[in-house]
Amino acid sequence: MPGVIIENLSGKKLSVLIAGLVVCQIACFLIGGFVAPNPSSADNILATKCLDPGNNSDAWFYVRGKGSCQRIDNYLNEDRLDYANRVVFAFQIPLPRDNVILDYSRWQQNLLGVLQIEVAYDSEAEMAPSTLLTIDAKIAYRNEGDPDNDWKYYASSLEERTVECSMEVKKEGDHYNCSIISLFELGSLHHDYYLINLRLPMDHKMNMNTHLGQIEDMWLVAINQNGGFTKIWLCLKTLFFPCIIAIVVWFWKRVHQLSRIPVLLEYMLLALGCALTFLNTPFELITLFYDFPFMVLLADIRQGIFYAALLSFWLVFAGEHLMIQDNEHRNQLRNYWKHLSAVFTGCLSLFIFDICERGIQLLNPFYSIWVTKIGTNVAVTFIIVAMASAGIYFVFLCYMLLQVFGNISIKRQALPSMSNVRRLHYEGIIYRFKFLMLVTLFCAAMTITGFILGQASEAEGRWKWDDDLHLDYTSAFFTGVYGMWNVYIFALMVLYAPSHKQWPSEMDINIATTEEIEFSPLSHSNMHDGANEISALTSFARKAAFD
C-alpha cells in the first residue's frame, strides 16, 4: 500500500516542512501585530447647522470651499420651532488635518456612519426615554478636481430611528445620555469626498419629531477600513492565492495517478482547497479601478463558503478516522448528513441575515436591520444562535477527536506482537497522526474563537479594540488566523497526498506469515475496500471495527 506522504516522509524532510510552515505562521502574526495598522479607524465630525432659506430639499449644503451654508450659531428651542424644517445638519468628510485637505482612498474599501445626538434638558420640552426620530438623509459625492459645488447625488432616504435617552439628575441645560444611532453603510469608497445632509422634519399632524426635546448638536462617527491594513491584507492574499492553487492542482494530479478512485476524504480536501482559493482571490484589487458596492457582501459570502467547507471537512476528517462504520456504508458522504445539515443550516441562517442587512443596503445605504425592535431581536437571535452553534460544534468536534484517539489507542495494543520494523512503522504513523489531530484542534479553536469574537463585535457595535498598544491584537489576530488557514490547508494537501513510496520495504518483504494474516482483510470485499483506503493508518485502525 503506498499510503500518504505523512506516513512515508522521512523525519528530516518532515521536520524541514513543519519548520517552514511554522515560520510562515509566525510571520503572518508578526506582520499583523507590528506592520499592519488597525483594521479600521474612526473620525468624529461635529455637524454644521445650516439654514435653508427657501426650504429647498434638492439643494446641497456644504461647509468647505465656497460653501453654501448659512450657519446657525444659536440653535435655541424657540427658533427651532419656527424653522425646524429649514435646518440642515451638514457633514463634509473626511475632515482636514493640520490644515491639509484630505480625501478618501479606494484602499479604504468601505464607510460606516454612526450618529450621536446631543439633547439638552428643557422642562418645557422634556424628552421621553424612548423616542422615535425621523431623519431625512441624503448623501452626495465629488472627486478631486471637481468644483466645490459639484456635488453629485448618491442616495437619500426618509428613515426612522429609535433613540434611547436617559438622565439621572434632571437639570436645565444638561445633556441627556443618548444611545448611538446607525445611519448608513457604504460598501465601497470609490470617491474622494462625501457630503451628508440631515434634516429633522417636524409635522404635528403626523406626530413627526414633535417630542424630541432640544437637540443642540449632532456628531457623526465615520468608520472606514484603514488603507494600510488593506494593502497588507491584499499582499497576503496575493501571496497565498497562487500557492494554494498550485498545491490543489498538484494534490489532485497525484490522486488521479492512482489506480483506485478518489476516496471521500480526498474529495473533501479538494473542496476545501477550492473554497480557500475562492477566499484568497484578491477581488478587492478590482475596486481600485471600478466601483463595486457589493464587495463587502461578496466578502461575507466567500467567508461563509469557506467556513462551511472547513467545518464540514473537520467532521468528515474525524469521522473517517473514527472508523466505526461497516465497509458497506463507509466512505460515503451521506453517512454525515446529520452533521453536515447542521453546518449547512447555520451557514444558511447567517447568509439570510447578511442578505437582509447588506443586500438591502446595496439599494438603500441608510437601511439597517438594527433600527427596529423586531429587527434588533431577530438580528441578536441570529447572532446568539450562531455563536452557540459554533460553541456546540467545537465541543462535538472535541468529542469526536477524543473517540479517534481512543480508537487508535485500543488498536495500538496490537503493536507489541508485530515485528520490530512494522511496529516502528506504525508507531511513527500514529505519533504523526496524533500531532496532526492536535494541530487540527488548535486550528478549530482559533477559528471558532475568531468567529465568536466577530459576531460579538457586530452585536455590540465595537469596531476598535486597543488603540494605545504598539502591538495591535486585532490586526495580529486577523492576519494570524488567515495565515493559519492557508498554512494548515497547505500542510493537509501535502501530507495527505498519495505517496509514491511502497511499504513494506525490500528488507521487510519476508515478514512472518502470521503477521500478514493479522493485517489481511477478512473477506474478498474487505480486500477490495482496503485497496481504496487513503492511508495505511485508516486501514490499520479500521480493523478495530471488526475485531
Most confident of 80-84, 343-347, 406-410, 483-487: 483-487
DSSP element (H, E) containing 538:
helix 536-542
**Do 310 and 161 reside in the same domain of the chain?**
no
**Do 204 and 232 reside in the same domain of the chain?**
no
Q: Label residue 514 by pLDDT band (50, 70, 90).
A: very low
What are 8-38's pLDDT values in tens digits? 888 888 899 999 999 999 999 999 888 988 8
Please report the pLDDT score of residue 75 as a whole number: 55
- CA dist., res. 133 & res. 163, Å (int): 7
Please report the pLDDT score of residue 330 as a whole number: 60
Instruction: Quote the crossing angle between the two packed helices 473-495 and 264-280, to the nearest 10°.
Output: 140
Residue 317 has pLDDT above 80, yes or no: yes
Ordered alpha helix ranges (H), 257-372: 264-280, 295-322, 337-354, 360-361
- Mean pLDDT value of segment 232-238: 94
**Do 156 and 292 reside in the same domain of the chain?**
no
Please report the pLDDT score of residue 543 as a whole number: 53
**Do 66 and 91 reside in the same domain of the chain?**
yes
Cell matching residue 191: 470617491
Most confident of 232-236, 369-373, 471-475: 232-236
- Farthest-apart Cα atoms in the chain, separation: 104
- CA dist., res. 255 & res. 261, Å (int): 8
Count how many domains the chain has.
2
pTM above 0.85, yes or no: no
Q: Label residue 520 by pLDDT band (50, 70, 90).
A: very low
**Do 448 and 477 reside in the same domain of the chain?**
yes
**Do 268 and 346 reside in the same domain of the chain?**
yes
**Do 50 and 30 reside in the same domain of the chain?**
no
**Do 208 and 273 reside in the same domain of the chain?**
no
Residue 456 has pLDDT above 90, yes or no: no
What are 198-229's pLDDT values in tens digits? 998 887 777 788 777 778 889 999 988 899 99
Is the Cα torsion angle 249, 251, 257, 260 positive or negative in sign?
A: negative
**Do 72 and 203 reside in the same domain of the chain?**
yes
Most confident of 63-67, 310-314, 495-499, 525-529: 310-314
> 339 vs 526, which has greater pLDDT?
339
Domain boundary among 200, 224, 248: 224
Please report the pLDDT score of residue 528 as a whole number: 41
Please report the pLDDT score of residue 253 as a whole number: 92
**Do 202 and 233 reside in the same domain of the chain?**
no
CB < 8 Å & 24+ apart, contacts of 445-450: 445/394, 446/480, 446/481, 446/484, 447/307, 447/310, 447/481, 447/485, 448/390, 448/391, 448/393, 448/394, 450/477, 450/481
> 545 vs 197, which has greater pLDDT?
197
Domain boundary among 190, 224, 258: 224
What residues make up the domain containing 163? 40-224
- Comparing 72-76, 277-281, 496-500, the range with the smallest average pLDDT is 72-76
Domain boundary among 186, 206, 224: 224
**Do 457 and 541 reside in the same domain of the chain?**
yes
Please report the pLDDT score of residue 282 as a whole number: 93
Q: Percent of the chain having pLDDT more than 70?
A: 80
DSSP element (H, E) containing 42:
strand 40-46
What are 123-181's pLDDT values in tens digits? 777 788 888 888 999 999 999 988 888 899 999 999 888 888 888 888 887 888 888 88
**Amino acid at the residue 155:** A
What are 62-93's pLDDT values in tens digits? 988 776 788 886 655 444 545 677 889 999 99
- CA dist., res. 425 & res. 419, Å (int): 10
Q: Label residue 318 by pLDDT band (50, 70, 90).
A: confident
Please report the pLDDT score of residue 516 as a whole number: 39
Is 489 within 8 Å of 272 (Cβ atoms)?
A: yes
- Give the sheet arrangement for strand 48-51, strand by strand: 48-51, 87-93, 193-199, 130-142, 152-166, 177-178
Indicate which CATH number applies to the domain containing 374: 1.20.1070
Q: Label residue 417 by pLDDT band (50, 70, 90).
A: low
**Do 235 and 220 reside in the same domain of the chain?**
no
Please report the pLDDT score of residue 269 as a whole number: 93
DSSP element (H, E) containing 488:
helix 473-495
- CA dist., res. 544 & res. 547, Å (int): 5
- Across the chain, mean pLDDT equals 80
Q: Label residue 415 by pLDDT band (50, 70, 90).
A: low
